[in-house]
Amino acid sequence: MASEYAGIGQASTEKGQTPWLSIVGIGEDGLHGISQNARLAIEEAEFVFGGKRHLALAADAVKGEAKSWPVPFDAAMAEVLALRGRKVCVLASGDPFFYGVGVTLLRHVAAEETVSYPAPSAFSLAASKLGWALQEAECLSLHGRSIDLIRPYLQPGAKLIVLTSDDKAPALVAELLTEAGFGTSELTVLEALGGSRETRRQTRASAFSFTDVDPLNVLAVDVVAHKTARVLPFASGLDDTLFEHDGQITKREIRAVTLSSLAPRYGEVLWDIGAGSGSIGIEWMLSHPSLRAIGIEQNPERAERAVRNAENFGVPGLEVVIGTAPDAFEGLPVPDAIFIGGGGSEAGVLDGAIKALKSGGRLVANAVTLEMEAVLLAAQARLGGSLIRLEVSRAAPVGGMQGWRPAMPVTQWSWVKPGETA
């Protein structure tokens, strides 16, 4: 890691090398809001990269060649990397490592090659203007991302600070909130924070009517839920009625046990074979933002329904592959966990899933038919793992009284592929 500066404009790594790349966070107050060292990093650079707005804010300090980011933006940072070893400065909005370009850069450049001068992030500026405790607010970025990502955070009493993409995003978020039953939530639009154009306006989501929003804005949401609001509980086993489905869905009680058996962990990839409504993959992704899921579904209508469900649950990143297992496995990323909820009795599906699963990965398969149960019993006899039988009964009218109506029992096989632990 880079050591602290011994003098102005001088830095060295633990190996005694001078970093070639400076990353400077800059706000709407421009050069007035950055440190002396940050300004020197700009002045001493042979090349200064940034958006047009950033370059304009820093123009008085740029002595080298100013280079605007290409359009479309090159996440591979080819132009910057081509100058490795030269004095290069990259300008970023606020804190470069909070949803910023610094994160993108350090996918390609070692931290030891850089020195960073962060400015307050848009989230910090917004919290200070609102008087909110930043650690108690949910901070999320919708910049260049689907606004559906806000849905899991819509909890009564929650405070959200949302980084948006443009002048249209606040109105779209307000519309989403209203449709989902959160129309009485208080919205604060904070525009051009930290600069001379800074403004702050408030309204309820259902009454949003601002048409002249600055493209540079942050949206704060004080969440208020109507009694009919679509609140997504944090627990596994969400109510079946929250999903659009045609009956092809792992029921909530079985789903809760299935998610527990799948045991999602940070950054893992799930294959949901026979995805149906997508409920397993959706709840897997809701467990943590780092998780990915790929649903494999041969019925195009169900596949489209799974995609709609994923959007409505705020996990639009769910990937749905239309195809028949095991042929549909070709080219997919290696899974850390696999769930088989449909079609597992067909030739090659279970064996193909076992082959594809990484060493130490987890496989969970549910059976409601005798044919699939026979497959799972044979697999457990051959490979080990655990078998459980799940039976759920629900109270239902029987004449003028009530009685228990049993659902079809489910046999579940859980198995960990031998090898290194996940």
Per-residue pLDDT, 293: 98
In the numeric block, which tokens belong to residue 161? 């600070």
DSSP H helical segments within 86-239, as ranges? 101-105, 122-130, 169-179
How do the pLDDT tens digits run along the chain, 422 residues long? 333 333 334 444 445 568 999 999 999 999 999 999 999 999 999 999 999 999 999 999 999 999 999 999 999 999 999 999 999 999 999 999 999 999 999 999 999 999 999 999 999 999 999 999 999 999 999 999 999 999 999 999 999 999 999 999 999 999 999 999 999 999 999 999 999 999 999 999 999 999 999 999 999 999 999 999 999 999 999 999 999 999 889 999 999 999 999 999 999 999 999 999 999 999 999 999 999 999 999 999 999 999 999 999 999 999 999 999 999 999 999 999 999 997 778 889 999 999 999 999 999 999 999 999 999 999 999 999 999 999 999 999 998 999 999 999 999 999 999 985 44
Element (H, E) at 383: helix 370-383
Q: Where are the beta strands (DSSP E) in 150-263?
A: 159-163, 186-191, 199-204, 217-222
Per-residue pLDDT, 346: 86
Per-residue pLDDT, 420: 58
Second CATH level (architecture) for the domain 240-416? 3-Layer(aba) Sandwich (3.40)
Q: What share of the chain is helix, strand, coil (3-state, %, to 5)?
A: 30, 25, 45
Domain-wise residue ranges, the chain: 21-119, 123-222, 240-416
In the numeric block, which tokens belong to residue 9? 């404009």
Q: The CATH number of 123-222 is which of 2.60.40.60, 3.30.950.10, 1.10.260.40, 2.30.300.10?
A: 3.30.950.10
Quote the CA–CA distance of 393 and 261 in Å, as a whole number. Answer: 21
Torsion of CA 252, 155, 302, 292, to 10 degrees: -90
Q: Which residues fall within 8 angstroms of residue 9, CB to CB, at 6 or more apart?
A: 37, 40, 41, 44
Name residue 245's amino acid. Answer: H
What's 104's DSSP letter?
H
In the numeric block, which tokens belong to residue 48? 């200064």
Quote the CA–CA distance of 176 and 149 in Å, as a whole number. Answer: 11
Q: Where are the beta strands (DSSP E) in 268-400?
A: 269-273, 292-297, 319-322, 337-340, 362-367, 386-390, 393-398
Second CATH level (architecture) for the domain 21-119? 3-Layer(aba) Sandwich (3.40)
Quote the CA–CA distance of 125 and 134 in Å, as a whole number. Answer: 10
DSSP H helical segments within 276-357, as ranges? 279-286, 300-312, 349-356
Per-residue pLDDT, 17: 63
Pairing of strands 88-93, 21-26: parallel
DSSP H helical segments within 48-121, as ranges? 52-57, 78-81, 101-105
